Chains A and B, each alone.
Chain A
């Protein structure tokens, strides 16, 4: 397809988060903005947005949830009429919630994702990673993104929700439709409705055939102030689990695989020193933080000298914040035993990624299992690696040989 987009005139006043070279490698662009006299850039593309790039600014706006609201969290405006249309009441709580509802929206799901609660998924995650590796280990080559990373979070989430694993490809298609095809408004709308309709049917099925030990049933039976939670909440959390739990973690795992394929010294360090894993995972999450979230400005304000208007979209580029040299020494370097690492790969403030402990577990187990089975591997050809970006950054194809 010919790229007909208008060339970017200046990163400071005309950035394009979907421009192919920025999608593949956004870090030089973030750095250019961050180190300029104007570290909060502006674009008029995609109905306009602001892009803060310094750690301090990104964290400050994440903390100011009354001014920077979660009425819109995607980096692009929604398809026209989406909120008013079918299932308009179903969002993705708590990521799309603002206080006061945010409090109970989040309170109900936090116990499900606490470290002690997600630990029970470790063995099944390891088993599924091993099963994926079984498929390609004898071939001497594999796509570390499409044959490996892509399949891990979707299976873990399906298992948690209690839905059939054979929905994997369909789920992946819907999530990509919502998050990766920002320009096809019809596809975005269709994908979103498909997710809600699917879970509506799952809820209906559980009303006649009650089940135990799955998250959908648990959510349906949850009460707040003596009343069952509304169905919009149940469907919203299911929607969140897919849209926020699949593409994101798969992207992080893929980026980590891409990194390790090029760094034999890091593979060696991890093989030889088990104590390195906790800091190593945090460091890899810092450097390859996949997610950029958006906020909608509540009222006209001046933020760090920028005149923001009510309704403006602000992009919280956590990947840019995580490479700010004001906060991190040698920020572009991967230092597996980095001692000071206040990274914000999972955000900051009241919307800290609810699934962060599960994501961490999946990234660690995916890498540990791979390194155990395939200790030495390299990229087939760096030039053929393809990337997704904008909302979620990570490789979509990453051929390796071993």
Chain B
């Protein structure tokens, strides 16, 4: 599983970083920053899905 963020839709709610702090952080403006490029460790997949399900802008893209 890989994650990315549609930066045109992200408005910095930071709810992804709250749900999955290992996977998402914050850039200088407080918008989402993906911390793990490439395949996620299996044990973080659940958290990444949860981050997706908590983004009010539906900006998180998960690809299997």
CA distance A113 to B26 in the complex (A): 11
Contact with A along B1-38 (1 / 0, CB 8 A): 00000000001111101110000001111100000000
Q: Which of A111, A278, A348 lies in contact with B30, CB distance below 8 A?
A: A111
Q: Which of B26, B28, B53 lies in contact with A340, CB distance below 8 A?
A: B53
Q: Which of A110, A111, A116, A356 lies in contact with B13, CB distance below 8 A?
A: A356
Q: Is the CB of B14 within 8 A of A344?
A: no
CA distance A348 to B56 in the complex (A): 7
Please give, as numbers and ranges, the residues of chain B lying within 8 Å of A342 by CB-CB distance.
15, 53-56, 58
B57 in contact (CB, < 8 A): yes
Nearest residue in B to A118 (C-beta to C-beta)? B30
What is the count of residue pairs linking A and B with beta-carbon distances less than 8 angstroms?
59
Known A342-B54, A343-B56, A348-B57: A114·B13 in contact at CB below 8 Å = no
Contact with B along A315-345 (1 / 0, CB 8 A): 0000000000000000000000001111110
Size of the A side of the interface (Cβ < 8 Å), in residues, is 25
Please give, as numbers and ranges, the residues of chain B lying within 8 Å of A45 by CB-CB distance.
none
CA distance A279 to B30 in the complex (A): 19
Please give, as numbers and ranges, the residues of chain A lying within 8 Å of B18 by CB-CB distance.
278-279, 282
CB within 8 Å of B: which A71-120 residues: 107, 110-111, 113-117
Please give, as numbers and ranges, the residues of chain A lying within 8 Å of B57 by CB-CB distance.
348-349
Min Cβ gap A182→B in Å is 28
Q: Is the CB of B54 within 8 A of A282?
A: yes
CA distance A10 to B21 in the complex (A): 46
Min Cβ gap B54→A in Å is 5
CB within 8 Å of A: which B42-61 residues: 50, 53-58
CA distance A114 to B17 in the complex (A): 12
Q: Is the CB of B50 within 8 A of A339?
A: yes
Please give, as numbers and ranges, the residues of chain B lying within 8 Å of A68 by CB-CB distance.
none
CA distance A116 to B14 in the complex (A): 11
Q: Is the CB of B11 within 8 A of A357?
A: no
Please give, as numbers and ranges, the residues of chain B lying within 8 Å of A107 by CB-CB distance.
29
Q: Is the CB of B54 within 8 A of A356?
A: no
CA distance A342 to B58 in the complex (A): 9
Please give, as numbers and ranges, the residues of chain A lying within 8 Å of B27 by CB-CB distance.
114
Please give, as numbers and ranges, the residues of chain B lying within 8 Å of A59 by CB-CB distance.
56
CA distance A357 to B18 in the complex (A): 11
Please give, as numbers and ranges, the residues of chain A lying within 8 Å of B53 by CB-CB distance.
339-342
Give the 5 A-B residue pairs with the shortest CB-CB distance, closest first: A114-B30, A110-B29, A352-B11, A340-B53, A342-B56
Can you list 20 A-B contacts (CB < 8 A)? Answer: A110-B12, A110-B30, A111-B28, A113-B30, A114-B26, A114-B30, A115-B14, A115-B17, A278-B18, A279-B19, A282-B54, A340-B50, A340-B53, A341-B54, A342-B56, A343-B56, A344-B56, A348-B56, A352-B13, A356-B12
A110-B12, A111-B29, A356-B13 are known; give 12 further A-B pairs, CB within 8 A: A107-B29, A113-B30, A114-B27, A114-B30, A116-B26, A282-B15, A339-B50, A342-B54, A348-B11, A348-B56, A349-B11, A357-B30
